[in-house]
């Protein structure tokens, strides 16, 4: 009976180890692909309302050219 339990524990451990190894391998590829895809670093701008910094392409601009972190803060206006 003890041998069966040891065998089950070894098999479960092996399966978990293989799943972890496969997941970390996939994550590594994704990280490498992301690094290859991203070009030069984006210019950071500060939200005129709350001051949080975000990449310029993600910012929302108002008519005066001020940057905001989102539509809600653009509507709230600069502080």
Binding site for Zn ion (CB under 5 A): 47, 49-50, 69, 73
The rounded distance, in Å, linking the Cα atoms of 70 and 34 is 24
Nearest to 57 by CA among 38, 77, 75, 72: 38
CB of 66 to Zn ion, least distance (A): 11
Q: For Zn ion, give the closer residue by CB, 9 or 50.
A: 50
Sign of CA dihedral 57, 61, 67, 68: negative
CB of 55 to Zn ion, least distance (A): 14
CB of 48 to Zn ion, least distance (A): 8
Q: For Zn ion, give the closer residue by CB, 9 or 52.
A: 52
């Amino acid at each position: 009976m003890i041998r069966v339990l040891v065998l089950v524990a070894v098999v479960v451990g092996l399966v978990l180890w293989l799943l972890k190894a496969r997941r970390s391998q996939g994550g590594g590829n994704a990280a490498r692909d992301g690094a290859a895809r991203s070009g030069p670093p984006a210019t950071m701008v500060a939200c005129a309302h709350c001051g949080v910094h975000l990449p310029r392409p993600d910012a929302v601009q108002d008519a005066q050219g001020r940057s905001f972190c989102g539509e809600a803060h653009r509507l709230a206006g600069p502080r």
